[in-house]
Structures are given as C-alpha cells and as structure tokens.
Amino acid sequence: MDLATLIGLASGTAVVLIAIFIGGDFMAFVDVPSMLLVIGGAMAATILRFTLADVMAALKTGISAALSQSRATPSMLIVEMGELAQKARKEGLIALDGIGISHDFLKKGVQLCVDGMTFEFVKDALSRDRDLYIERHEEGEKIFRAIGDAAPAFGMIGTLVGLVQMLGNMEDPQTIGPAMAIALLTTLYGALISNLVALPIADKLASKAQLEYVLRTLVIEGTLHIQNRTNPDVMIEFLSAYLPESQREAAA
C-alpha cells in the first residue's frame, strides 16, 4: 500500500474543502453540468488521443500502481543475489535450477543462466525485457498526463461558454455575479483534476517506472556476475554502488 498516494490525495482534498467551507456555502461549488463538461471533455480528448482499451487499461494499472508498493528493495536483492552467487560458485550454475527466488525478473535471469545461454544472449534478452517493460508502463504515465493537459483546457472552454452566455443576457445586473461564479467553476474543476489528481499520478507512475528500471538493471548486472561466477564479495561490493550510502553496510 503506497501511503504517500493516499495521504497526498486526502490532505490535498482536505485543504481545498476547508477553504470552501470557511467561505460558507459548499453547494455554490457544485454544478453538475460543469462537472460533466470538464470530466467528459477531458476523457473524450484522451480517448481520441489513444484508444478506448489503452485508456481503460491505463486507468486500471495506473490506479493500482499508484496505490501499491513494490516489496523488493535493492539491498534485499543484493543480499539474495549474493547467496545465489555463493551457491553457483560452490556447486555450479546447475544448482540454481528450481531454487526459490523472490523476484520474478531475477528468477527469469537465473533460469536463462541455468539453461546454459551465452553471456550475450542473457544480457540482450534481459535488457530488452526491461526496456519493453518500462515502455509499456510509460504508456500509463502518458495517458494521465494527457488527462492533466485536457482538463484545464476544457475548464477554460467551459468558462468561455459561460461568459458568452452571461454577456448575452445582462439585463438583470443581479444575475451577473452568480452567472460568472458558475462560469468560473469549470476552470476550478479543471485545475483541481489536473493538479490534484492527474499530473501527480502521472509523476508517480514515472517515478515508479524509474525505480523499477534501476532495480532491473541491478538484477541484470547481478545475474551476469552469477553466470560469470564472480566472487560474491566482489559482486556485492560492485553492486552496492546502486545503494544510497546509508544503506551500503546493510547489504555488505
């Protein structure tokens, strides 16, 4: 469970609601046609950009990725790969066949070594696997970023529609204020959707993809060391460069 996402979303919504309630009338901020225009317009423009299936998939994986937390950490993986290297060095690569491995990508790499693939093949296959994994996950980021771009645009479109309607009917000066208030609501909705939901989730997906990239690069290097039967201590020394300095002792 990624607490940061929940805390961020909850506290961001809270401060906006507090600002609204302090000013008084909450219902002055609710206008269903304005919501329909901003949310509907932003979704329509996003579906147009991609495909319906991609947008649905991105919303699903995006939300689950934003809320979930990867359990594997670089230092855990370094310790585990150290043990595998130890075993491979003593008993041969074949001893790693069918061994329990916590991380799927490491499992795949070890299996390729056990199957006797060449150094180049293992390197190429794992690197491409990593790159395509990242590419597929960047799709989700792009879709949330598209929503974050489209929502303020449709907010502005809604405000323009409201202003044109208001300016065409100015007989009763009493109605100008409230009409303009409603016209501004779409801009407010657009800004909230973009800045409180869509763009932060896009950035969260990007930073999770970045973390996963570092993790998988670490696993690729470790796997190649295991295949080469590098001395486990040298390997751990080498891989610790991937850790922030404060965590290096933990792995060594």
Nearer to a copy of itself, 23 or 92 (CB): 23
CB atoms within 10 A of CB 232: 20
The residue among 226, 235, 252 whose CA lies nearest residue 90 is: 226
Using CB under 8 A, pick the residue from 82, 113, 140, 154 that binds a copy of itself: 154
Stretch of residues binding a copy of itself (CB under 8 A), selected from 33-41, 75-83, 87-95, 222-230 = 33-41
Tokens 């319906």, located at residue: 52
The pair phi, psi for residue 69, each rounded to 5°, is: -130, 130
Among positions 162-221, residues that touch a copy of itself (CB under 8 A) are 162-165, 167-170, 177-178, 180-181, 184-185, 187-188, 191-192, 194-196, 199-201, 203-204, 207
**In the complex, least distance from residue 127 CB atom to a copy of itself, rounded to whole angstroms:** 9
**In the complex, least distance from residue 28 CB atom to a copy of itself, rounded to whole angstroms:** 5
Q: Are 209 and 181 in contact (CB under 8 A)?
A: no
28 binds a copy of itself (CB under 8 A): yes
Rounded CA-CA distance 1/6 in Å is: 9
Beta strands in the chain (DSSP E): none
**In the complex, least distance from residue 220 CB atom to a copy of itself, rounded to whole angstroms:** 13
Nearer to a copy of itself, 170 or 250 (CB): 170
59 binds a copy of itself (CB under 8 A): no
**In the complex, least distance from residue 80 CB atom to a copy of itself, rounded to whole angstroms:** 20
Nearer to a copy of itself, 37 or 219 (CB): 37
Burial class (CB in 10 A: 0-12, 13-18, 19+), 223: buried
**In the complex, least distance from residue 128 CB atom to a copy of itself, rounded to whole angstroms:** 5
The pair phi, psi for residue 83, each rounded to 5°, is: -65, -40
248 binds a copy of itself (CB under 8 A): no
3 binds a copy of itself (CB under 8 A): yes
The pair phi, psi for residue 247, each rounded to 5°, is: -100, 0
241 binds a copy of itself (CB under 8 A): yes
User: Token pair of 222, please?
Assistant: 């470790």
125 binds a copy of itself (CB under 8 A): yes
202 CB-near residues (< 8 Å, 6+ apart): 141, 142, 144, 145, 148
